[in-house]
């Protein structure tokens, strides 16, 4: 089949490359000429493990191409995906749908169809109806089938998630759209069919409910971690103790500095707004949003305490900037709030991240970037581990201890064992452990 992908970011590029790998012919479009130019030269605009090889092989097979020109890309397409950003709208926290609506308008201006228009961006309930209205208003003679198909991939594991999803949710009541979507995903359905068809509004809500539920789970264990610290219990054992109950499940029970990233913060906030607009306040999610916001900046208090009550004039080494490992994505990363809070209290911050530094440079001020973990800690008054990159899991601890001015380690991901660190002479603080 011929597919057009509007938006070649984390979701559009990965989805486009994976659809091409299934055998479809995919054109990825983006307004960002620099991004398209890079892709045409075989340079990935984002860091995602395995993506460069996948793109290279499908470009070589002529199943995948890149353009800034939607009019060229949309000709002969049977389906066009909208995979543009839906960030938080400034000021009120609603999802900003201007990119989605602009894409819908462009589609109708350039093609009368018949065309299946698939919203892959995360969009609030009812957006599909508005996309349909825009298409019909712009092109009254056009034939469009508007489908919701939210994406559940995780950055850092995106290709595996796209190719081996737990489920694929498709929101449409239309028989033709259903047939086209089934055909697009058929290569995935050979063993077990993961397709789940629902109404369009239900599909839109599933995506938000999924992200909100995961955010609740993370925030719950984070609060339990605080309680563990107060009462002398160990959150990792609590997590194991409850997670082995398969009604609860062991995933998303790692206590840490609070959730961040390109999805959970904006999606939880947008869901709260949807609830308020529908006069159904989602009190649990509202609380989770507030608790998590406070937690990210609050992590600085842990560092200050570990440093003896003040960080003024001290140098703090930060390992890990991205919101999780194996991505370069810095959007709403906990490191941003933490570093700013430390700087506000008079600390100098030196940081290292394997992939996130370029994005971080545009979001943080006055941070010194080190070329590796050891240069980062040299002469620092404390080390703070913020993101659990594999490269930080087996640091040469004797070397770290020699390099640090003070042997203070604040491990916000609990990647080291407290007893072992104490034995090595560190003043070590984790999350939710005695
Ligand atoms: N990043 C994730 O892990 C993830 C996972 C699931 C769902 N989502 C959702 O997918 C959507 C996209 O997220 P992302 O992280 O890929 O965003 P992104 O910002 O990385 O990419 C969006 C791209 O769309 C382009 N764009 C915007 N308007 C355009 C237009 N009219 N024509 C062509 N290109 C246009 C932008 O230039 C940008 O490159 C969001 O709604 C997000 O919530 C993201």
The pLDDT assigned to 193 comes to 64
CB-ligand 1 contact for 99 (6 Å cutoff): yes
Annotated active-site positions, please?
263
Tokens of 15: 């989805």
CATH code, 2-197: 3.40.50.720
pLDDT, averaged per 10 consecutive residues of the chain (434 residues), comes to 97 98 98 98 96 98 98 95 96 95 98 97 98 98 98 96 94 97 89 86 98 98 98 98 98 98 97 97 98 95 98 98 96 97 98 98 97 98 98 97 98 97 98 92
| Ligand 1 center from residue 262 Cα (angstroms) | 10
The pLDDT assigned to 434 comes to 82
Listed in sequence order, the residues at least 6 apart from 312 whose beta carbon sits closer than 8 Å to its beta carbon are 345, 346, 347
Residues making up the binding site: 30, 35, 86, 122, 152-155, 207, 252-256, 260, 266, 324, 331
Of 265, 236, 274, residue with least CA distance to 253? 236
| Ligand 1 center from residue 353 Cα (angstroms) | 23
Residues making up the binding site for substrate: 152-155, 207, 252-256, 260, 324
Q: Which atom of ligand 1 is nearest to the CA of 13?
A: 16
User: For residue 26, what are the CA distances in angstroms to 63, 80, 81, 87?
Assistant: 6, 10, 10, 25
CB-ligand 1 contact for 211 (6 Å cutoff): no
pTM beyond 0.85: yes
Check residue 87 and report its DSSP letter: P
The pLDDT assigned to 189 comes to 75
Residue 412 in contact with residue 386, Cβ under 8 Å?
yes
| Ligand 1 center from residue 250 Cα (angstroms) | 30
| Ligand 1 center from residue 44 Cα (angstroms) | 15
| Backbone phi and psi for residue 352, each to the nearest 5 degrees, phi listed first | -140, 140
| Cα dihedral value 246, 250, 252, 258, nearest 10 | 120
CB-ligand 1 contact for 32 (6 Å cutoff): yes
CB-ligand 1 contact for 156 (6 Å cutoff): no
Quote the CA–CA distance of 85 and 96 in Å, as a whole number: 8
CB-ligand 1 contact for 148 (6 Å cutoff): no
The pLDDT assigned to 191 comes to 64
CB-ligand 1 contact for 82 (6 Å cutoff): no
Sequential DSSP letters for 409-423: EEETT--S-HHHHHH
CB-ligand 1 contact for 8 (6 Å cutoff): yes
Of 135, 160, 164, 162, residue with least CA distance to 147? 135
**Residue boundaries of the structural domains of the chain:** 2-197, 264-429
CATH code, 264-429: 3.40.50.720
Q: Which atom of ligand 1 is nearest to the CA of 11?
A: 16
Q: Do domains 2-197 and 264-429 have the same CATH topology?
A: yes
| Ligand 1 center from residue 376 Cα (angstroms) | 33
Residues making up the binding site for NAD(+): 30, 35, 86, 122, 155, 266, 331
Which strand (E) or helix (H) includes residue 4? strand 2-6
For the purposes of burial, counting CB atoms within 10 Å of the CB of 36, is it exposed (0-12), middle (13-18) or buried (19 or more)? buried
Mutate to test the pocket of ligand 1, among 27, 44, 66, 151 (most ligand atoms within 8 A of CB): 151
The pLDDT assigned to 343 comes to 98
The pLDDT assigned to 272 comes to 98
């Amino acid at each position: 089949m011929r597919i057009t992908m509007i938006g070649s970011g984390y979701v559009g590029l990965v989805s486009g490359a994976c659809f091409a790998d299934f055998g479809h012919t995919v054109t990825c479009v983006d307004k960002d000429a620099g991004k398209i130019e890079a892709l045409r030269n075989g340079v990935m605009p984002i860091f995602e493990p395995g993506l460069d090889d996948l793109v290279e092989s499908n470009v070589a097979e002529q199943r995948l191409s890149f353009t800034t020109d939607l009019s060229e890309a949309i000709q002969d397409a049977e389906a066009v995906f909208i995979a543009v950003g839906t960030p938080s709208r400034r000021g009120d926290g609603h999802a900003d749908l201007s990119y989605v609506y602009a894409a819908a308008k462009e589609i109708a201006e350039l093609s009368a169809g018949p065309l299946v228009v698939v919203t892959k961006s995360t969009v609030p309930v009812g957006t599909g109806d508005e996309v349909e209205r825009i298409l019909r208003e712009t092109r009254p003679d056009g034939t469009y089938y508007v489908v919701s198909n939210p994406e559940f991939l995780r950055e850092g594991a995106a290709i595996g998630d796209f190719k081996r999803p737990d489920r694929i949710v498709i929101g449409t009541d239309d028989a033709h759209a259903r047939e086209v979507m089934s055909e697009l995903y058929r290569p995935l359905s050979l063993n077990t069919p993961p397709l789940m068809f629902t109404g369009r509004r239900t599909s839109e809500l599933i995506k938000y409910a999924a992200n909100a539920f995961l955010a609740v789970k993370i925030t719950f264990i984070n609060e339990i971690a605080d309680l563990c610290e107060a009462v002398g219990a160990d959150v990792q054992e609590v997590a194991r103790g409850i997670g082995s109950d398969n009604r609860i499940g062991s995933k998303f029970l790692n206590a840490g500095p609070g959730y961040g990233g390109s999805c959970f913060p904006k999606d939880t906030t947008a869901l709260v707004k949807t609830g308020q607009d529908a006069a159904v306040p989602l009190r649990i999610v509202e609380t989770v949003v507030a608790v998590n916001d406070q937690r990210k900046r609050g992590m600085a208090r842990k560092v200050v305490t570990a440093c003896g009550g003040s960080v003024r004039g001290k140098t703090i080494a930060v390992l890990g900037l991205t919101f999780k490992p194996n991505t370069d994505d810095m959007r709403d990363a906990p490191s941003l709030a933490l570093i700013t809070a430390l700087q506000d209290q008079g600390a100098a911050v030196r940081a290292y991240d394997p992939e996130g530094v370029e994005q971080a440079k545009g979001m943080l001020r006055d941070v010194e970037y080190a070329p590796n973990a050891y240069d980062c800690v040299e002469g620092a008054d404390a080390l703070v581990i913020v993101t659990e990159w594999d490269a930080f899991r087996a640091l040469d601890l004797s070397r770290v201890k020699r390099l640090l001015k003070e042997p203070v380690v604040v491990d916000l991901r609990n990647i080291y064992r407290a007893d072992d660190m104490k034995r090595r002479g560190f003043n070590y603080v984790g999350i939710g452990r005695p």
